Structure 1
Amino acid sequence: MNYKEIAERLLESEASKIPVGPLTEQYPDLSIEDAYHIQLAGIDMKLSQGRRIIGKKIGLTSRGMQKLLGVNEPDYGHLLDDMLILEGDTLKRSDLIAPKVEGELAFVLKETLKGPGITIADVYRATYGIFPSFEIVDSRVRDWKIKLADTISDNASSARLVLGSKMASIKDLDLKLIGMMFEKNGEMVSSGVGAEVWGNPAAAVAWLANKLSVFDIALEKGEIILAGAFTAAEKAEAGDIFTVSFQGLGSVSIKFV
């Protein structure tokens, strides 16, 4: 299996906005390990083009999504500098294929975390602060017909992230009980609490640090770590305005044009 060739196809799809068929149909033997190698090959190509890693994201943290895809652990992807959208900016719907929006907590690290053996206590110690955030996911696989290996190969369906303007100390928040309200065009569409993210969003960050150690990758000082969605993702079309509010953290909004 040529990891670089498959990664190039996904990058071409991202650039052209023309999705590809499910990789797991084209490559029935595609394993989770293969998928991560494809993802890393794609990231290496983007870095060679001048992009910069600014963080990592965790996906599939909810038990419901794991059950849907038949897995028992989350997955991860890389966040690059061209994915970051500043609060108050708009996002062109035509820049993406089939975007969906998720409300998440964003951890900013003041210390590097590298597994194995990272605990929740280590995450608390290493976190500079937490922001309210959106992750905009997008699949280069046609019609979101994905299995776990498809989304991992596709950089965990990463596309954009939006950070709020208010940062809070992790010591001031009960991450398991922090509440979130998610609004679309002025109407609340969902709500959730931190415990829905792998039991505790900090536990998801610890999981990621330990998982990445297999590839000799660390969560680096200064990186942004998206810990996983509180609720189901919402489809986005031109004209949609999304707002997510977290108890004790304030809110963040994004408009698609």
Structure 2
Amino acid sequence: MPKRREKNKNGKLRQIANYLHQCEIERKEAEQIVKIHPEIGIDEAYLIQRELVKLKLSRGDKIIGYKLAFTTRTKQRSMGISTVGFGYLFDYMKIDDGGELNLNDVIHPKAEAEIAFIIGEDLSGDVSPYEVIEATKFVAPAIEFVDSRYKDFKFELVDVISDNFSASRFVIGSDVKKPSEVDLRLSGVIFERNGVVEKTGALGAVLGNPAIAVSQLVKFLSKRGEKVKAGSIILTGSITEAIEVKEGDFIRVSICGVGEVSTYIVKK
């Protein structure tokens, strides 16, 4: 590609990243990228995501982990893909267990029930799920609040990749277990709102075992010259369908053999 054309392309990708970043900061809905720039493909979408990450780092935000997406076969089929997607988690996104999600900080969030892996050793290369389990310090129940910036929460694959997979806020439970102490396939999950069970599932909904999803993340990052560093938090993807939340809700996720995590939905 000629230098001028490449420069123009890179400038366009940075411009899109800045647009999405401003929409998040100003809490306003964005137009779908595929409608404005139908020529952009998946590889370029990840480049936009990388530019978005650079913008956040320039503001002083710190990367503390990763979020996985498309970690159920049903979701992968609906998106026409066969691998997981990933985005970055930043320090400003973390809410304390039992804390509050302020609706004034987001656009139109939805809650997801997940299990988080806290990595104890650096991971890179062609790692197996077993090696992931060995390198994991502990697992914990988690709630992720995805908040697509796109109008009416409608997006396609290129859109959601560019927008860091709708990463917004998350809560990690105080109850933790070593992964070897948990059945990462069959442990049941209960997703409640205001004491009423909304969804149920099992950890095996995540590719049969969430450690498989983490191993795919490590392999993907390794191809980009990156590694998962010790201390990283990895949200392994939604176990059930997401639920919409509103002011006054109390959200709780319980995982058999692990524990529970909860948060309140407020508007300040």
Calculate the TM-score normalised by the size of structure 2.
0.93
Residue 189 (structure 1) aligned with residue 198 (structure 2): yes
- 1:4-153 paired onto structure 2 within 5 Å: 4-115=14-125, 117-153=126-162
2:35 counterpart SS class: helix
Letter in 2 for 1:195: G
- Superposition CA RMSD, Å: 0.9
Q: Could you give the per-residue CA deviations for residues 149-204 of structure 1, whole angstroms, max 9, x where no partner exists?
A: 11110001100110111110111011011110001121111111111101110000
The one-letter code sitting in structure 2 at the alignment partner of 1:200 is N
- CA distance, structure 1, for counterparts of residue 261 and residue 120 of structure 2: 23
One-letter amino acid of the structure 1 residue matched with residue 238 of structure 2: A
Conservation of the 8 A alpha-carbon contact between 2:176 and 2:259 = no
Q: 2:238 aligns with which of 193, 207, 229?
A: 229
Q: Secondary structure at the match of 1:228?
A: coil
**Structure 2: gaps spanning 5 or more residues:** 1-8
1:174 paired to 2:152:
no
**Shift of residue 214 of structure 1?**
2.1
Tell me how far apart the structure 2 counterparts of residues 31 and 236 of structure 1 sit (CA, whole Å): 32
Aligned length, in residue pairs: 256
- Superposition deviation, residue 251 in structure 1: 0.8
Partner of 2:211: 202
Give me the whole-angstrom Cα distance separating, in 2, the residues matched to 1:242 and 1:12: 29
Q: Quick one: percent identity of the two aligned structures?
A: 38
* Equivalent AA in structure 1 for residue 247 of structure 2: A
Render the CA deviation track for 1:119-152: whole Å, top value 9, x for unaligned: 1111011100011111110001111111111111
